[in-house]
Amino acid sequence: MAAIRGLGWLVAVGAVVAAVPGLAQGPHGPQAPEWVADAVFYQLFPERFSNGDRGNDPTRDTLEADVPASWAVSPWNGDWYARADWEKEMGPDFFEHGVFHRRYGGDLEGVFDRLDYLQNLGITAIYFNPVFHARSLHKYDGSSFHHVDPHFGPDPIGDRALMATETSDPTTWKWTAADALFLKLVSEAHARGMRVIVDGVFNHTGRDFFAFRDVREKGRASPYADWYTIEREDDPATPENEFRYRCWWGIDTLPEFADTPDGKDLGPGPKAYILDITKRWMDPDGDGDPSDGIDGWRLDVAREVPVAFWRDWHALVHAVNPEAYTVAEEWEEASRFLDEGAFDATMNYYGFAFPTKGYLIDATLPASRASREFHDRLDDHPEAMRYAMLNLVDSHDTDRLASMIVNRARRPYEQPQKFDYDVAVSPRHHDDYRLRKPDATDRRIQRMVALLQLTFIGAPMIYYGTEAGMWGADDPCDRMPMVWPDMRFAPQAADPRGRPREPDAVAFSQPLFEFYRAAIAFRKIHLALRRGGIEFLSADDDAGFFAFRRFDGGENLLVGFNRGEKPYAWRIDSAGADVTQLFTASGEAAKVAFAKDGDTTVVTLPPLEAVVLGVTPAE
């Protein structure tokens, strides 16, 4: 119950990261655009977000896999774990046979239809998983980077015919109906004050990518042969196909672009192509005004692309739009890589998600160590970059936040094994992985996690449906269709391993949505939470208590988290100051007790509660 000091005019305790008056200057020139510090991001898969146009749904011939003739688009509101007849035809009675070949028909029209929802939630930036032409649901196996997937737009057949007339020469590229609809969506988002960033996959393509398709047909005689690394050509004298090529992680559906012979840059062919598509999407009409283009990029497997490419690419990005935002996918400490590649930020697994999960979700990381890790990992980066970090907890590469909580403390918090982040956290790999719906205790923890996201330094990112109460294991279960309030859903009654289970009702959680909306609005009101400094205050390991201060000018906010199972008396030295309650994670403000003890204010938090306090000089 140590007193906590450090309220600006009192004696400071703990490490301080100062407020940053200007965020735009980085080590390689203009970086970390100021708008990012104020942004709240929302990540979505168009294919799983909303089906606004049933006339453009995928068809069996658009899949790369050989699926049964009975294949059909899956019902949006069906039991996720129930297998359709065509899925059962594909293999043994196990869930993963068929699930990766499902399509639900989500599209850009569906995103249009739900922009009001995102605006009501308070979202100011949308991060699209890849929207480019590809066969898979996730679009990381691109067939083209200069076209939006035809089945996201209104005329898939016409778009394909138009695309067939093109070459790698940008002067031959047309704007398809899907492209035009995406640009219209960008324009509408901008009109609503929302930015748009898109996933860029510049390490590999799919096998239908125009250049690789030509290489498959012609081998080293193809003009694109040096775009890939051909390890062995096919021998036409034999019945089998010996054609082999370097592919990402040995996955033959993902051939890798070739680097230069010295490995220091991307090969000249793919590099020129990527620079061309970058200009195309950032300034579509090429008039020098980027306002009609996307606002930035999330870069997949960024470390697997040579740094020299990233430097040149970033020079182009910032030349086209100095306010563009680039964020690298990176799971470990990445300060040197980010600096060398001139990135604005990273997906902040290492600096935010890992200690958040260890402390708040699993409760295996002591509060004092969490405080140190948060501070030290912020301190790894220059000031401007700290405010641009993409602070996420769950994503398309993890189990969902609610299911992380349901399955908490499966393994102790240790680095660099990433404990249970993207390490087979699924019933595909563990028969003891719990699929159940989160209970009231789980939801209390989820609200604490969300409040930490929305009060910490950096840009918070919500994975689609987390705010709606969705749960699910790692891929593919983190990619269920979005649960909407205007739809009725079948309960989850089937089990992927055929085990008996109690059915769980599936429905949009209005109370959780209202909490997220209120917490986002609270962040927007308080400049200290978006652009202020941070001071890490004393922590209590025995009680599981952790706190920090956010400050900007005359605004001082204290944020405290009681992860323990007992009430915690937070003693605040408040001589000459008033301490008021501003926000609680639970919404049960009356259960947070205040008492005065001389110059100390005692704030007693119930178990599993977080609170934001305002501290102002007494009148």
Q: What secondary structure letter does DSSP report for 302?
A: G
Mean pLDDT of 11-15: 36
**What percent of the chain has a predicted confidence (pLDDT) above 70?**
93
pTM comes to: 0.95
Helix or strand holding residue 370 (H, E):
helix 367-379
Both tokens of 513, joined, read: 């949505």
Both tokens of 212, joined, read: 């690789």
Average pLDDT, the chain: 92
Question: 113 and 54 in contact (C-beta within 8 Å)?
Answer: no
The residues, any chain, with a CB within 8 Å of residue 139's CB and separated by 6 or more, are: 47, 129, 130, 131, 132, 133, 149, 199
Mean pLDDT of 77-86: 95
Distance from C-alpha of 113 to C-alpha of 402, rounded to nearest angstrom: 26
Mean pLDDT of 302-312: 97
Q: What is the pLDDT of residues 579-590, one digit of tens each?
A: 999 999 999 999
Both tokens of 301, joined, read: 């497997």
Domains of the chain: 16-21+531-617 (2.60.40.1180), 33-56+102-203+279-521 (3.20.20.80), 59-101 (no CATH), 210-250 (no CATH)
Question: 529 and 619 in contact (C-beta within 8 Å)?
Answer: no
3-state SS string over 207-265?
Answer: CCCHHHHHHHHHHHHCCCHHHECEEECCCCCCCCCCCEECEHHHCCCCEEECECCCCCC
What pLDDT was estimated at residue 28?
A: 38
Question: 559 and 584 in contact (C-beta within 8 Å)?
Answer: no
What pLDDT was estimated at residue 27?
A: 39
* Cα distances (Å, whole numbers) of residue 190 to 54, 119, 524, 585: 26, 12, 18, 31
In the predicted model, is pLDDT for residue 432 greater than 80?
yes
Question: 536 and 15 in contact (C-beta within 8 Å)?
Answer: yes
Structure-token match 């604490």, residue found: 448
Highest mean pLDDT among 82-86, 499-503, 517-521: 517-521
Find the Cα–Cα–Cα–Cα dihedral 313, 318, 320, 321, rounded to 10°: 140
**CA atoms within 13 Å, Cβ hemisphere of 217:** 10
Confidence of residue 418 (pLDDT cuts 50, 70, 90): low
Mean pLDDT of 334-356: 95
Confidence of residue 618 (pLDDT cuts 50, 70, 90): confident
**CA atoms within 13 Å, Cβ hemisphere of 394:** 30
What pLDDT was estimated at residue 94?
A: 73
Within a 10 A sphere around the Cβ of 351, how many other Cβ atoms? 28
Q: What are phi and psi of 120, to 5 degrees?
A: -65, -35
What pLDDT was estimated at residue 553?
A: 87
